Structure 1
Amino acid sequence: MFVTRLIYFFVLFITTTSCDQFNLYGQAGQAYALEINVGHPVQKLNVLVDTGSTTLAIASYARIDSNKYFHADNSASLFNIGKEVQAKYSQGTWIGNLVSDFVNISTLPEVPEVKCDIALITKSHKFFMNGSGWQGLLGLAYLPVGAWGENVVVGSWLDSVEKALNKAMSFQLKLCGVRSSTNATHYGKLEMLDDNTVSLNHNVEFRTPILRKRWYEVGVLSIRVITNGNKSMNIIESNLTKDSDDYLNAYKETCVKLNEEKSIVDSGTTNIRLPDTLFGEVVEELKNAAASAYILILDGFWYRGESACWPEPQEWSLPSIAVDLLSADADNQYFTLEIPPQNFMRVVTAKNNSGEGGSVSEFCYKLGFEAGGKETILGYTAMEGLQVLFNRSAGWIGWYPSDCGPKARVTGPYNFSTSLLSLCQLTQPVPDVAVSIKAAQWTLCAVSIIAAAVLIYLLAPCVKIMIQTPLPMSQQISLSQAALVEQEAT
């Protein structure tokens, strides 16, 4: 009996410790999901942690692939704002109703329960993945990329948290990837930190500035294949010195192309998405490296997102990828993320059927790069094996090695002979003022004051007549906000 209790204790201890350490989980290709509690009484839902959008949006209807959704009628604390909102993503769209309700995240004990805006999705197209274990997403970006609707500003969960705590908050993602080569489930951790705690974190040696506070838009300067220890790529010839005009011109051509539309850090996107021509160059080098190592993989894997499968897990000997990011410390400095092949040769299926009669083991992989037209997106493939700290108010993202996941590295800083902001034609970093719901509220307040002043001016003659000739009480009219809206609508 004692031994049984002891075993039970250790199992419980290990389970509890694991739950405390990691609160993000997901299946292959489906990003990282977090469990949240919504409404009173509480309904538990899983939402993707998405730095590429702003709104907390959850399903409010049953779908073909899932019967789990938020039942609005069961929440006594829900308030229906009565506005229709919508959002469009790089993949998928949805339409929904805007409400407000209480949200609590039990794995973030430092964050209080808050009442915030929620979009209840009523209709969607290519938004929910088949068999996905999540029912919505938690947007962690800035207000300008939130859902939109007519005459409505959709607030974010993060803004509501900052308002409740009366202080600016940062957050950190530690994405660990899969637990082993025989398991396709990935895991990680989301932490919330106040800015005082962030300022004491001396591990954040490398910071890149947020150039625009919409998405987390940063300066991606170069994507290079590391061959034989040299970070070179055929667009930048290895025999060119860093100070030569030819090198500067080649570097400029690359970084301008990478940032032509936008370059963002997006945990809601799986792959590293590159402008079409750069995607082709990176993939061609990786393909040649695989051929040199006698790894036979068909073109469909490299260029069309198809899976490649083997009867046993693969230990990849391909070269790593170097991603240069603009440094926040000086505009002629950059640092480099070194991303190993374990990141971008992504496990999508891990079926170990050894020992079972008549069945075959299957381990399938997909390439973690894709063509993105003119935009650059560092999806979670570029973040696994690292800790990424998003300081929203100060306007920078910090990168440093993690104690879990692939052996990604951060190296530098490296100096350039000229300003990278100028060379790469980048936007100047935004000032250290958070773009939040408060800005929208002050804007609406200013508009209301101006409208009230105009109204008083227009009604002044009527008021003067009323003073001179008082009307009977029964004929007084209401100038409530609802009445004014109704008059404007007609």
Structure 2
Amino acid sequence: MLFIIFQLCSVYLCGIGAEEFNLFGDAGLAYAIEVSIGHPHQKLHVLVDTGSTTLAIASYPRQDSNKYFHADNSSSINDSGKEVHATYSQGMWVGRLVSDFINFPSLTTIPEVRSDIALITKSHKFFMNGSGWQGLLGLAYLPVGATGENVIVESWLESLDRTLNRPMSFELKLCAAQSATNATHYGSFQILDDFNTINENRNKTFRTPILRKRWYEVGVISIRVMSNVNNSDVTSDKYNIDTDMCQTLNKEKSIVDSGTTNIRLPNIYFRKIVDELRSAAQNSSTLILDEFWYHGEVACWPEPQEWSLPWLAIDLLNYDQDNQYFTLELPPQNYMRVVAARNSSAESGAVSEFCYKLGLEAGSTETVLGYTAMEGFQVLFNRSASWIGWQSSNCGPNARVTGPYNISTSLRSLCQLVNPEPDVAVSIKAAQWVLCVISIIAAGFLIYLLTPCVKMFLTRRLRNSPQISLSQAALVEQESA
């Protein structure tokens, strides 16, 4: 299905602007991009995921898809022979660690780089039925990457930074569905130089700090239903921060995750917000069953819906001052997600059907801003400077950013937010030092065991010394095979 969408792009969407859109997906399946792997190139589609780190690719046929990476057909692959695995909020996989060349055809200014890849050999509830993608492009930081015994799995972004010898940022512009009669969504993924993004569009971009470099953890001050969308109901002199909400939203973690569909909230605040939305729908004489609001059920109508429901506001900690926040204002088109749009012809006798799901869900104690909260914005992830920039987009829902707004105290203190951690490179270096120490200890132990043999060789004549080198070389070859 996704292949067909990409083909349509070449004759329809991509004609709008030269390669403006390189992300596509069916409703509920996030956004995927085309990637070329290995030599000769094998073209697949990977989900663009800020909630994970590792580039993970299917390497076996599945019940719902026979499209996967054929490792034996790549002349450039390097197989470590080591097993790696990862567990997500939904699903898990096990695979083996390899490296190969990665190229994104739509990113014409980005060179092909050799990168670590986890070739998935088995999985559970990871590949959704009918999904048009064959893996994940993880864009988060190293600490949440795939794991294995004595293994550090480098991400594609880390490989790119190392190849270019400078840090790179990326931007996601998620545009949601093309129209009210088409559930396919589209967007743009671009790689940018960190140096050029620091002062780019400063007058239009609102920045929130990345509090912890694992996932993209941010400070969510509140999530609420707006009472007035014409003139923002948020002003510094009349809006009081709900300390309990602020602390609860960030107690476990609050992350920006393009690989998650909905806005996920702690249970108590999910119920509070949905109760308000349900009440507003009833007051507007829109009949929607409780199963839609509270249990994730689909609601369908014979015609596309023009929603007159309230807007949602998401307040985020401001990067420049910790007594400031700004607000993402989301129209109902963001959270009333289109999941099916079938406009059948009258001759067939079929009935047109336009179906929606609520873009909010309960998440126990965590807060996740899924792509539902990102549609209608250009979201810039500056990894090295530790901030995420938000500005209104020229596509998708009519979402907007307002602020900044001041309060009289520190939001970091009030909401008990963590301070930004050192650059992830420190973690990488620490891991490298640990592996180095382990290697030194192992080498020392090996020398101790081989001391009698060394003494015996030293008593032989010098002409026998090449045999030692040949023996060591054979040992290396055997271990790498």
TM over 0.5: yes
Alignment of 1:248-327 (within 5 A): 251-327=242-318
1:384 is matched with: 375
Task: Report the Cα distance in structure 2 between the residues aligned to 1:35 and 1:475, rounded to whole angstroms.
Answer: 51
Task: Give the counterpart of 2:321 among 330, 344, 348.
Answer: 330
1:212 is matched with: 212
User: CA 1:435–1:320 in structure 2 vs 1: closer, same or farther (change >3 Å)?
Assistant: farther
2:66 is matched with: 67
User: CA 1:42–1:132 in structure 2 vs 1: closer, same or farther (change >3 Å)?
Assistant: same
1:361 is matched with: 352
Alignment of 1:14-29 (within 5 A): 15-18=14-17, 20-29=19-28
What's the CA shift for 1:442?
Answer: 4.8
Contact 2:35 2:44 in 1 (8 A): yes
SS at match of 1:286: helix
Q: Which amino acid letter does the alignment assign opposite residue 26 of structure 1?
A: G
Contact 1:276 1:374 in 2 (8 A): yes
CA RMSD, aligned part only? 2.9
User: CA 1:436–1:166 in structure 2 vs 1: closer, same or farther (change >3 Å)?
Assistant: farther
Give the TM-score, by structure 1 length.
Answer: 0.88
Alignment of 1:75-90 (within 5 A): 75-90=74-89
Q: Which amino acid letter does the alignment assign opposite residue 68 of structure 1?
A: K
Task: Give the counterpart of 2:406 among 390, 398, 415.
Answer: 415
Q: Which amino acid letter does the alignment assign opposite residue 109 of structure 2?
A: E
SS at match of 1:66: coil
2:115 is matched with: 116
What's the CA shift for 1:303?
Answer: 0.7
Contact 1:334 1:413 in 2 (8 A): yes
Q: Which amino acid letter does the alignment assign opposite residue 385 of structure 2?
A: A
1:226 is matched with: 226
Contact 2:217 2:255 in 1 (8 A): yes
User: CA 1:480–1:219 in structure 2 vs 1: closer, same or farther (change >3 Å)?
Assistant: farther
Query: For structure 1, which segment, 425-434 or 299-308, has the greater mean C-alpha deviation from structure 2 after superposition?
Result: 425-434
Q: Which amino acid letter does the alignment assign opposite residue 361 of structure 1?
A: S
Task: Report the Cα distance in structure 2 between the residues aligned to 1:68 and 1:461, rounded to whole angstroms.
Answer: 54
Task: Report the Cα distance in structure 1 between the residues aligned to 2:257 and 2:119, rounded to whole angstroms.
Answer: 23
2:5 is matched with: none
User: CA 1:231–1:447 in structure 2 vs 1: closer, same or farther (change >3 Å)?
Assistant: farther
Task: Report the Cα distance in structure 2 between the residues aligned to 1:381 and 1:268, rounded to whole angstroms.
Answer: 10
Task: Report the Cα distance in structure 2 between the residues aligned to 1:70 and 1:37, rounded to whole angstroms.
Answer: 10
Matched, 1:100 2:102: no
What's the CA shift for 1:430?
Answer: 2.2
1:7 is matched with: none
User: CA 1:402–1:241 in structure 2 vs 1: closer, same or farther (change >3 Å)?
Assistant: closer
Deviation per CA, 1:281-319, whole angstroms, max 9, x where unpaired?
A: 010000000000000000110011000000000000000
Alignment of 1:24-35 (within 5 A): 24-35=23-34
What's the CA shift for 1:125?
Answer: 0.8
1:351 is matched with: 342
Task: Report the Cα distance in structure 2 between the residues aligned to 1:409 and 1:303, rounded to whole angstroms.
Answer: 27
Query: For structure 1, which segment, 433-442 or 352-361, has the greater mean C-alpha deviation from structure 2 after superposition?
Result: 433-442
SS at match of 2:179: coil
User: CA 1:415–1:323 in structure 2 vs 1: closer, same or farther (change >3 Å)?
Assistant: same
User: CA 1:292–1:105 in structure 2 vs 1: closer, same or farther (change >3 Å)?
Assistant: same
2:150 is matched with: 151
Q: Percent same amino acid among aligned pairs? A: 65
- Structure 2: stretches of 5+ with no match in the other structure: 1-9
2:416 is matched with: 425
What's the CA shift for 1:260?
Answer: 1.1
Contact 1:142 1:436 in 2 (8 A): no
SS at match of 1:29: coil
Contact 2:142 2:424 in 1 (8 A): no
Give the TM-score, by structure 2 length.
Answer: 0.89
Contact 1:95 1:124 in 2 (8 A): yes
Contact 1:175 1:384 in 2 (8 A): yes
Task: Report the Cα distance in structure 2 between the residues aligned to 1:19 and 1:66, rounded to whole angstroms.
Answer: 31
What's the CA shift for 1:408?
Answer: 0.5
SS at match of 1:201: coil
User: CA 1:435–1:224 in structure 2 vs 1: closer, same or farther (change >3 Å)?
Assistant: farther
Count of residues in Structure 1 that have an aligned counterpart in Structure 2: 465
Contact 2:213 2:424 in 1 (8 A): no
SS at match of 2:272: helix
Deviation per CA, 1:121-165, whole angstroms, max 9, x where unpaired?
A: 111111111111101110000001011111111111111111110
Task: Report the Cα distance in structure 2 between the residues aligned to 1:212 and 1:302, rounded to whole angstroms.
Answer: 33
Displaced runs of 4+ in structure 1, greater than 4 A?
11-19, 229-233, 432-439, 449-456, 458-472, 474-484
Task: Report the Cα distance in structure 2 between the residues aligned to 1:311 and 1:47, rounded to whole angstroms.
Answer: 34
Task: Report the Cα distance in structure 1 between the residues aligned to 2:296 and 2:474, rounded to whole angstroms.
Answer: 54
Deviation per CA, 1:155-200, whole angstroms, max 9, x where unpaired?
A: 1111111111010000000000011111000000000001121124
Task: Give the counterpart of 1:444 among 410, 435, 448.
Answer: 435
